[in-house]
Amino acid sequence: MGKADIIKAVKANKPNELPLPSLDFPSSNGQSLPSLFEERLLAGGGEFFFAKSRVEAETYIQSRIKAGEYKYIAGALKSLNTFDLASIQDPHELELLNLSVFEGELGVAENGAIWLSEDRLIHRAAPFITQHLILLIREDQLVDKMHAAYAALRYHDYGHGVFIAGPSKTADIEQSLVVGAHGPKSLLVVMLPTEA
């Protein structure tokens, strides 16, 4: 059988085209997006706080900082920063970072994930090297599903972005879940109202 015969046989035996599956998955079954987001975040080992205003959010974060465990703080809340990410040239210098605070661009209720884009991070490694991570997200930045998130993202505007859902964890060894294994030991998400 020659090449032409093989191609002819393949063309003669092509399966019929089928329509693509629908991506119109059921939504959150009436549960509010913040409530679903909180439920999924807690299931993934994260913590959740709903602030009534940006001032309340900063006060709450400040109260956690006063516990004294965070010496080197960097990120979106400049009034709390003791560490200037913009002054860092070598990412190895981020090893001192105790706490990072970033504002998310988009939250996904179905898995409690938050999208962080490169333009908000300054250093790509910062949310992974820091000992503890706090992410801020507004209520109106939530979508129900990952499909909606990918449709809404403007990821062509920058070179890097990442979804973060919960603190780092592993269950490689004897299937025992260890939280805080390879990155942040904790993740707190502070949700803000739409107008904040």
Residue 74: both structure tokens together: 């960097």
135, 77 in Cβ contact below 8 A? no
Confidence class for position 67, pLDDT limits 50, 70, 90 = low
Residue 115 near residue 149 (C-beta atoms within 8 A): yes
Which SS3 state, helix, strand or coil, does residue 10 take? Answer: helix
Give the tokens for residue 172: 């490689």
Radius of gyration of the chain (CA): 22
- pTM confidence score: 0.83
Contact 122, 91 (CB under 8 A): no
> Shortest CA distance to 170 belongs to which of 161, 183, 160, 151?
183
> Contact at 8 Å (CB) between 174 and 34?
no
Question: What one-character-per-residue DSSP string does 50-102 give?
Answer: E-SSHHHHHHHHHHHHTTTT-SSEEES-GGG-SS-GGG--SGGGGGG--EEEE
Judged against a pLDDT cut of 80, whether residue 26 lies above it is answered with no
How far apart, in whole angstroms, are the C-alpha atoms of residue 53 and residue 60?
A: 11
Q: Bigger pLDDT: 50 or 74?
A: 50
Residue 80 Cα distances to 59, 61, 62, 77, angstroms:
10, 9, 7, 6
Chain-centroid distance of CA 140 in Å reads 16
Distance CA 96, CA 99 (A): 9
Q: What are 126-135's pLDDT values in tens digits?
A: 899 999 999 9
Q: Say how far apart CA 189 and CA 192 lie, in whole Å.
A: 10
pLDDT-derived band of residue 51, with 50, 70 and 90 as boundaries? very high
68-96 pLDDT, tens digit each: 667 788 887 777 877 788 888 888 888 88
What percentage of the chain reaches a pLDDT higher than 70?
A: 96
Residue 139 DSSP label: G
Q: Which residue has the tokens 């090893």?
A: 95
